[in-house]
Amino acid sequence: MFTGLVTDIGTVRAIEPRAGSSDMRLEIATSWPTGGIAIGASISCSGCCLTVVAKGEGWMAFQASGETLARTTLGGWAAGTRVNLERSLRLGDELGGHLVYGHVDATGSMVSATPDGGSLRLAFALGHGLGRYVAAKGSIAVDGVSLTVNSVEDAPARAMTVFGVNVIPHTRDATTLGTLAPGQRVNVEVDMLARYVARLSEAG
């Protein structure tokens, strides 16, 4: 479990398809001291929870399944791709964002980036019927970053929802969000509480 507060931007340094399977091995460079990271630890990699399978000074390796590659942006990563990194939450840690599970619901795409005072207003398109879980002033994770939804607009004819968020300068500089381009795919995880509320409403 994570909070959506990114603490490092890593860089993919190697990708290796696994022989005889659809899995892939990823090596990601990091500025973290990896000596304190255990094999088997969970790391949020741009919103996708992956398990450390090997490590060395300044790098960690992960194995991503074919299912993960198909449902997230990881299948499109290449050497040099920048990755938002967050270590898993420990009991007693400050919960500064919101509860993020690292289970990507779907990929969305960035629609636009517009300066808004000192911030950057980003709009994302999300399909897959997930718009019902997105609400103004609710929480959402985009590429592993905890964000507050500022606006929601449904487009039924296009079977999608467009939601807007504001990114302050610190978040823009400390994550990959500030370098996104229109049309670029992102990993999206909706708020788990919204899922349960919707499910209870259906049951009622």
**pLDDT mean over 179-189:** 97
Q: For 85-101, how does the pLDDT look when each residue is reduced to its tens digit (9 = 90+)?
A: 999 987 767 777 788 99
% of the chain beyond a pLDDT of 70: 95
Q: For 25-80, how does the pLDDT look when each residue is reduced to its tens digit (9 = 90+)?
A: 999 999 999 999 999 999 999 999 999 999 999 999 999 999 999 999 999 999 99
pLDDT in the model for residue 158: 75
Classified as helix, coil or strand, 143 is coil
Q: Rounded to whole angstroms, what are the CA distances from 165 to 35, 162, 171, 181, 199?
A: 36, 10, 12, 15, 25
Classified as helix, coil or strand, 150 is strand
pLDDT in the model for residue 129: 84
pLDDT in the model for residue 151: 96
Q: In one letter, which amino acid is 113?
A: A
Q: Under a CB-based contact definition with an 8 Å cutoff, are residues 56 and 34 in contact?
A: yes
| Residue 170 parent element (H or E) | helix 169-174
Tell whether domain 106-195 is in CATH 2.40.30.20: yes
Most distant CA pair in the chain, distance: 53
pLDDT in the model for residue 99: 86
Residue 5 has pLDDT above 80, yes or no: yes
pLDDT in the model for residue 199: 65
Q: Under a CB-based contact definition with an 8 Å cutoff, are residues 178 and 169 in contact?
A: no
Stretch(es) of the chain classified as CATH 2.40.30.20: 8-87, 106-195
Burial of 165 (0-12, 13-18, 19+ CB in 10 A): buried
CATH number of this structure's domain 8-87, picked from the four choices 3.40.50.300, 2.40.30.20, 2.30.30.100, 3.40.50.1370: 2.40.30.20
Prediction pTM value: 0.92
**How far apart are alpha carbons 179 and 46 in whole angstroms?**
14
Q: Under a CB-based contact definition with an 8 Å cutoff, are residues 25 and 62 in contact?
A: yes
CA nearest neighbour of 167 among 154, 193, 186, 153: 186
